[in-house]
Amino acid sequence: MGELFVLTEGIIRDLVGFGEAELKAVEAVYPLISDGSAVMPDIMRIDVEAHNGEIDVKSAFLPGYPGIAIKVSAGFFNNPKRGLPSLGGFMVVLDAETGIPTAALFDNGYLTDLRTGLAGAVAARHLARPDSSRLAVLGAGVQARFQVQALRLVLAIETVTVWARRRERAEALARDLSDQLGIEVRATDSVEAAAAGADVVVTTTPATDGFLKQNHLRPGQHLTTVGSDAELKRELGEGIFDLVDVVVVDSLRQSMRLGEARSAVAEGYDPEGLIELGTVVAGKHPGRTSPEQITLCDLTGTGAQDTAIAGLTVQRAREQSRGDVVIT
Amino acid sequence: MGELFVLTEGIIRDLVGFGEAELKAVEAVYPLISDGSAVMPDIMRIDVEAHNGEIDVKSAFLPGYPGIAIKVSAGFFNNPKRGLPSLGGFMVVLDAETGIPTAALFDNGYLTDLRTGLAGAVAARHLARPDSSRLAVLGAGVQARFQVQALRLVLAIETVTVWARRRERAEALARDLSDQLGIEVRATDSVEAAAAGADVVVTTTPATDGFLKQNHLRPGQHLTTVGSDAELKRELGEGIFDLVDVVVVDSLRQSMRLGEARSAVAEGYDPEGLIELGTVVAGKHPGRTSPEQITLCDLTGTGAQDTAIAGLTVQRAREQSRGDVVIT
């Protein structure tokens, strides 16, 4: 019926990364979420308790975009015992006008990591103080690394502090990032020490205990939370939403179900205070209005980002004639 | 990370079809749905109104099965204007223990058509009178054809009558089936004429008007409804459920949301009367207990069937070393 591009991780990493075009591609989706023109169904989840696994499916149709991504993320937590990574995934892109598959991107979750990192940069561009230079990252996994890389696209980051529950992981990431980026990156012993001197704080953990407390925050900070994307997860302790001056979420519906807004609202925060990132990106809400304000953006991760980053990947694969072509 | 089989429609049609193993593979899933051991999330739907399209995603984890299918069905109803079929789709299979993709089946919807046809045969095997020989098919699309082919696996079908809103389509299908199967197949002018002399009646239309009425049914008949898989669809008129002695559905949850049970219950039918197909297949419910009873099975289509038929396809592809292999 047609030509289908099959792309594997190595090629995909060659095609897209931390560039301005990728950042713009991700940024552009938020106004479409907020003005209701994106068609974005609730996440499909398949719990595979027998194998300590979970599968999430996300998707979105964005008007004017040539493709629709169906994105599958897999987290199988017995994998490390077999020498395999816990997290994986892939995307398939359908032609938005015909529904015919045009590309299969076996990226092992790279595109999800990338678009999530870039979302952090979008949030910081619109909410952090423009002179922010000191970054704190809580968590030391792939997303901690990607947040740092992405934030450098929008802020002149000079120092990074890393905290993780396991000190040795924070130290390993600090060494890696320091070598890779040529900036000062150091591990710290406590959430408080990490956050205290930072202009931007990013949480990237699978925590369920709300480890970031009110007394960890300082006036003028911007906080992005990336970890919470499921009913039981939370990185923010009680009362953080009340302390924050501008509370932004990537998707109201998702954050209320799966993100930090879920627990905050359950504890009494008025959901009327929640602002969608797209309204700020579109200039319909001013975001931060003074250097003293504390701003927050809760990112749950959207199918719209997947459709955008997959679309850019396929466009470049076509332009560069990369990937296998299968006649379907 | 691993070896991934990429299979296209031609190969897939070679690998699986109307065989006893395929029938058993589909039959085996229903007890897993009914005893709660299948993990089957609600269908994800992406409405693409801008292009007159809709995308459904189904999936299921079945205990003991080596793979989990993520199945995408696409219906894009402007396609015929471009000379393309309206319906399409594909499946990706993940390793159930690691979540790593092991196969991508670009079947253009063939496996969905096949497992739906086979589900009709499963229903008839367990509910129709064993001596049923006269079949009526309402609708004249791919699924009408597939229902006839599948039912011949379980019943000694001697005559088939076909009705469709467009008489010429019914006639074309009747000619085709007659040539292909060497049995008497004829088109009829009315639903009543088609159904009146039949032992088994199968509805396969996208109707929304409940065109099959109480007075079309006769004692001893078995009725399978395949069409309704969305909120607005219905093939059965008011009161059919009340007339039927044994009302079976493939999935209670789905039939109540998307199938014939939705409108029947809305019109007063007591959902306590609904029996899941798996309880009949497993012998926990007797199904038909006399030749005079009217039996009904409403099929909405389940991710469990997709996981089963995809698994069999991949198993055979491996055994026969068919398909492209991509290293992901």
| CA separation for the pair B231, A213 (Å, rounded) | 46
Which residues are within 8 A (CB) of B13 and not within 5 positions of it... i.e. 6 or more apart?
Answer: B110
**pLDDT digit string, tens, across residues B10-44:** 999 999 999 999 999 999 999 999 999 999 999 99
CB atoms A55 and B96 under 8 Å:
no
The CATH classification of domain B128-301, taken from the options 3.40.50.300, 3.20.20.10, 3.50.50.60, 3.40.50.720? 3.40.50.720
H/E run at residue B178: helix B167-181
Residues B149-169, mean pLDDT to the nearest whole number = 97
The whole-chain average pLDDT of chain B stands at 96
Among A41, A96, A99, beta carbon nearest to B45: A41
Residue B241 main-chain phi, psi, to 5 deg: -60, -35
The label of the residue with tokens 């552009």 reads A28
CB atoms A100 and B74 under 8 Å:
yes
The verdict on B103 touching A (C-beta cutoff 8 Å) is no
Q: Residue B327: list chain A partners with CB under 8 A.
A: 8
Task: Determine contact, residues B201/B179, Cβ cutoff 8 Å.
Answer: no
The verdict on A328 touching B (C-beta cutoff 8 Å) is yes
Which structure tokens are listed for A62? Answer: 């964005």
| Mutate which: A3, A37, A51, vs B, most B CBs within 10 A | A51
The whole-chain average pLDDT of chain A stands at 96
Distance between B197 CA and the closest CA of chain A, angstroms? 40
Q: Residue A72: list chain B partners with CB under 8 A.
A: 70, 92, 94, 101
**pLDDT digit string, tens, across residues B162-198:** 999 999 999 999 999 999 999 999 999 999 999 999 9
pLDDT tier at B94, thresholds 50, 70, 90: very high
Please tell me the predicted confidence (pLDDT) of residue B230: 81
| Mutate which: A13, A61, A108, vs B, most B CBs within 10 A | A61
Domain ranges within chain B, ordered by starting residue: 3-111+304-327, 128-301
Taking 50 as the pLDDT cut, the residues of chain A under it are none
| CA separation for the pair A74, A90 (Å, rounded) | 9
- Which own/partner pairs from B274-277 qualify as long-range (CB within 8 Å, at least 24 positions apart)? B274/B247, B274/B248, B274/B249, B275/B246, B275/B247, B275/B248, B275/B249, B276/B30, B276/B33, B276/B34, B276/B248, B276/B249, B276/B250, B276/B251, B276/B252, B277/B30, B277/B33, B277/B34, B277/B122, B277/B123, B277/B126, B277/B248, B277/B249, B277/B250
The CATH classification of domain A126-301, taken from the options 3.30.70.100, 3.40.50.720, 3.10.129.10, 3.40.50.2000? 3.40.50.720
pTM for the whole structure: 0.95
pLDDT tier at B1, thresholds 50, 70, 90: low
CATH of domain B3-111+304-327: 3.30.1780.10
- Cα dist from A83 to A86, A109, A113, B272, whole Å: 9, 17, 20, 49
Which residues are within 8 A (CB) of B173 and not within 5 positions of it... i.e. 6 or more apart?
Answer: B137, B140, B144, B145, B162, B164, B185, B187
Distance between A260 CA and the closest CA of chain B, angstroms? 24
Phi-psi region of A258 (alpha: psi -120 to 50; beta: other; left: phi over 0): alpha
| CA separation for the pair B76, A96 (Å, rounded) | 9
Which structure tokens are listed for A185? Answer: 């990156």
Please tell me the predicted confidence (pLDDT) of residue B323: 85
- Give the active site residue among A71, A81, A213, A284: A71
Angle between helices B142-151 and B110-127 (to 10 degrees): 40
Task: Determine contact, residues B100/B327, Cβ cutoff 8 Å.
Answer: no
Radius of gyration, CA atoms only, chain A? 19
Which residues are within 8 A (CB) of A281 and not within 5 positions of it... i.e. 6 or more apart?
Answer: A27, A30, A31, A34, A122, A126
Please tell me the predicted confidence (pLDDT) of residue A142: 95
The verdict on B292 touching A (C-beta cutoff 8 Å) is no
Could you tell me where the beta strands, DSSP code E, fall in chain A? 3-8, 44-48, 53-60, 67-76, 87-95, 101-106, 134-138, 159-163, 184-187, 200-203, 222-225, 246-249, 274-276, 295-298, 324-327
**pLDDT digit string, tens, across residues A281-303:** 999 999 999 999 999 999 999 99
Active site residue B24: no
Task: Determine contact, residues B246/B272, Cβ cutoff 8 Å.
Answer: no
Q: Residue B44: list chain A partners with CB under 8 A.
A: 41-42, 44, 57, 59
Q: Tell me if ipTM is over 0.90.
A: yes
Using the predicted structure, report yes or no on whether residue B236 has a pLDDT greater than 70: yes
CB atoms A76 and B68 under 8 Å:
no
Please tell me the predicted confidence (pLDDT) of residue A1: 58
